Amino acid sequence: MVAVEYAEFLQQFRERTAKRMEEFEKAIALTQRKLDNAAEDVEKKKQPVVVESLEKPIRMARRQQRGRGPVKSVLREA
């Protein structure tokens, strides 16, 4: 009687375990596909973008010249 219950328990356990393993493998496969798609997107973004040259060249702004007057030392007063 106990052996029959144990055998039945083992069978049910194996079935549940197989079902869980199948669900786990499906989840792993789905995650792997998502990662592959994300990696492809990153590779696409890495490709250089062709930029057309502008009609006028961009000029760098000149730095304003500061006054060349005397410098007050703040640290000497402390």
Q: What is the pLDDT of residues 13-43, one digit of tens each?
A: 999 999 999 999 999 999 999 999 998 888 8
DSSP state of 62: P
Question: Whole-angstrom Cα distance, residue 37 to residue 26?
Answer: 17
The two three-digit tokens of residue 16, written as one number: 């549940």
Place of tokens 């375990």: 17
CA quadruple 30, 36, 40, 42: dihedral, nearest 10: 100
Q: How far is CA 49 from CA 39, 42, 52, 55, in A?
A: 18, 14, 10, 19
Kindly report the pTM of this predicted structure: 0.49
Better-predicted residue by pLDDT, 32 or 48: 32
